Chains A and B, each alone.
Chain A
Amino acid sequence: MNVIQAIAIVVLKEMVRRKDFYVLFIITALITLLMGSINIFRDQSIAGYLKELALLLIWICSLVIAISTTARQLYAEKENRTIFPLLAKPVSRAQLLLGKFFGCWIACGLALFVFYLFLGIVAASREHTLDVGSYLVAMLLHWGALAVVVGMALLGSIVFAAPSSNGTICFVVALGILFLERHLNTVALQTGGWLGNVIYGVYFITPRLDWAFEVREFLIFHNPMPGIVIWTQALLFYGAYAAMLLLAAWLLFRRRALNT
């Protein structure tokens, strides 16, 4: 456990040193504040469009942080040849993967906290009220979904040859799931035949990142969030899916030669 924790802390420190998060946060804050300064029929209490924009930017930034941070982890260790002394400690390959996973995931969580805090402040300054519980549930679901994304990028870093291809493929897959997943069953039924069956199969096996993505609308439109039982089930689903991806990554990584 101490080994995993040590590796995770190294990943966290690396994220603090790198400029990715700061740049993305400043861009998000600038765009949101700029849009907030627009005069819309002299009404300063309109917040829906700002929340929608900020949440979209937060989702894009969080995906960029999660994928870019995770995708380069194993490549960097191999390229700098630090993976050899690391595994000679002794640190098992499973511990290395788990350490990298938790480091990246916790780093995403910290980034999300800052993003959602900013969003909460912007929304409260406009609406003069803040439903902290709803924001917390949205953030937890978002963080849960990022566990799957981090797991996916970690698996990709073993399957694909370079961090760039891994990052691009993970980003395309994640965006595809976010925007299309919910409608795949409708498309499958409309398509019919063997192709419809294939689409229905894809609908059932892909991780439901769209759940966390769609709850944004509850924040925007002031609708009640799903109950605790529902969102706990969703978090368990994300946890199980991330564990499955990690297991697949470990199965591929445990016998992989490190000099390639």
Chain B
Amino acid sequence: MPRRVSERSTDGDDDDSKNRENVQYTNTRPCLFVSGGSYIQPVEDGGYCLLSLPHHIPASAAFANIPWSSSTTCAAQIESITSQGVVVTNPGASRCSVGDGSDENGGISPHSRQDFFDVDTRHDLNKLEEEVFGRFFLGCRLVDIFGAANFEVVQGVGRWTVDFVRKRRVEHKRWFVRAGIAHLIWYALARKRH
């Protein structure tokens, strides 16, 4: 998610190396955190999946001139809201800032994650499967060889979606077993013929 927020350094430190870190960091997630105001949850593709607006922001102004479905949607949305004089809280950035002491109370939900993503493409779907069941290796999910899922992740993902992924994984395994059996039969027949 491209960002250009180097001036929004979280700790106010002018040291070059620290600023570089902040630039790197804000290139992936915007760093704006103060209490109150608006709250936004960015997703990996540059968009966002959650936005809250206080009552005094006119909706028409908040959503004006946003480049939808682009890699800068979230950044533009944050700029649009801050231009209304409202501070924007981003849980990913806040979580990161907890360690450097720049946000006293953390200011985030304990449930928040930094790696939100929409499930729109095959890549997203595979990523979701990997999150839930670990990496795919020789027909088995490494985390799931004995049928156990990655529970820490599963708890953070909606249960219906997890069920869908689980169903799909079972289908994959069935396909793999069928392909293996077909291969064995073909091999046996080929040997018999010779």
Task: Specify whether A and B are partners.
Answer: no
